[in-house]
Amino acid sequence: MNAWKQVVRNLPVVSSIYPHLSRLKKDTVMRLRFRTLRGDRVILPETGRSLYINPKEARGRAIFRCGANGQSDLRRFWRYALETYKPQFAVDVGANYGECVFSGNYGSVERVIAVEANIELKPWIERSHKDHADHDRIELIFALAASESQKDRTLYVDKTWSGTSSAMGNHAEHQLEEVSVDSVCLDDVLESSDLDGKTLLFKLDVEGYEEKVILGLRKALALVGKSIGFIEFNNDFIDATGSSASDFLKYLNQHFEVLVPHPHGLKPLDLGQVTLENLQGYFGESFETNLMLFSDTAARDAFPFDT
């Protein structure tokens, strides 16, 4: 930056408004790029299709300002899995605005299920769903995924950042609103489907409720011939639900080939067995990472990891 520009920026009046002007400039560029005056639509790079977001909500604005390029590792995993395994069933739990589920093409998939508990996101999700070429294959469920289907469960809607709404209210420093929602067990949802020998792709991002969701998917996982998953793992959040992060990892190791992707990519970290002790040795005592799950070594070895 030229010296005179730096001097101008340091003037009290200018320095106070510069961040706002900078954001305005970026938002204007993105509005022109995505041809939207309201700033409520971005184009998913994988499909060229529209993803609608709430421009008044912080996470929605973040998606808009990054050009829908966030969560690139998750979306790459989802795309690779669709192409490699050609699953008959795909389930996205904790869909939020749908950046993952709406980034896929599902011409050969029998059922695609997107589950989101935060009803405030429903108008935006439904608009993206309507614009998706495979919308007739994508089912939207607005409920809390859990180990059993129940009425009137508590959800803490995070008004600060929609992506951290949860059944536990993990972010006490945020503005949380307690609402009542129904919970749904995925085994109940999939009960009518012929799962025998089929392939299931799933993604879980539910702020510590991942074990509860897996428990509600046990029957389906036992029936399918192959399963591939990508789940968020936050040891403190899992422990806060009354579960044990250590025991959950033991359960996952008993039923899957478990790999931990590099923080910036999908190439697996060399941690040996994925235990809580080994994860804490790498990430620290309290951590959040993702886990890649494969039903067997053949499924694991078929995945096109980053090199």
Nearest to 103 by CA among 52, 164, 44, 162: 44
- In the CATH scheme, what is the code of domain 72-302? 3.40.50.150
> How many other CB atoms sit within 10 Å of the CB of residue 84?
14
* Lateral strand order in the sheet of 199-204: 138-141, 111-115, 89-93, 199-204, 226-234, 288-294, 257-259
Sign, CA torsion 218/97/104/194: positive
* pLDDT value for 25: 60
Which residues belong to CATH 3.40.50.150 in the chain? 72-302
DSSP class per residue in 62-122: HHHHTTT--SHHHHHHHHHHHHHH--SEEEEES-TT-TTGGGS--TT-SEEEEE---GGGH
* pLDDT value for 63: 93
* pLDDT value for 171: 83
Q: What is the DSSP letter of 268?
A: B
Confidence (pTM) = 0.90
- Average pLDDT of adjacent 10-residue blocks, the chain of 307 residues: 59 58 58 63 89 94 88 94 98 98 96 98 98 96 98 95 92 90 98 98 97 98 98 97 97 98 94 97 98 98 85
Q: Point out which residues pair with 295 in neighbouring strands.
A: none
Pairs from 156-165 (Cβ < 8 Å, separation ≥ 24) = 157/118, 157/120, 160/58, 161/58, 161/59, 162/54, 162/57, 162/58, 162/59, 162/60, 162/96, 162/97, 162/118, 162/120, 162/121, 163/59, 163/96, 164/207, 165/117, 165/118, 165/207
Is residue 118 within 8 A of residue 153, CB to CB? The reply is no
* pLDDT value for 29: 57
In whole angstroms, what is the distance from residue 128 CA to residue 133 CA?
A: 10
In whole angstroms, what is the distance from residue 118 CA to residue 168 CA?
A: 13
In whole angstroms, what is the distance from residue 286 CA to residue 292 CA?
A: 19
| Residue 144 tokens, joined | 């809390």
